[in-house]
Amino acid sequence: MKKLLLFVLLLPLGSLAQSPNTLNNPNLPGYQNPTQQRLQTQMQTQQQQQKNTLNQQIQSQSLQQQKQLNREINNNTQRVIQSQPGKINSLPNNSSKEKFDSKP
């Protein structure tokens, strides 16, 4: 009886022992040690940040290229209009400063 009582008293202490981590057990296939997991997570985070930075740079560069193309189109259009006799020397979308600065 004493042995049974002792066993019953020790049983709850055994349940307090740390249970094995079944999610990342080195004896199971697909095991990754915690350092590799941490490095992989850091690398994925860094790659995502670099991807976001590159996307922002591409958007900025595309916007700058579009603005430059629009300036070139406007300049070329203005040049063609000015080269035609009897036409007004400014485009409607040009600023008033450019209209007043142009020489007849």
Structural domain spans, the chain = 45-83
Task: Dump pLDDT digits (tens) for 24-69.
Answer: 677 888 787 889 889 999 999 999 999 999 999 999 999 999 999 9
Encoded tokens for 86: 């009897």
Q: How far apart are the first and last CA of the chain?
A: 119
Task: Dump pLDDT digits (tens) for 60-96.
Answer: 999 999 999 999 999 999 999 888 887 655 555 555 4
Query: Residue 33's Cα: distance from chain center in Å?
Result: 28
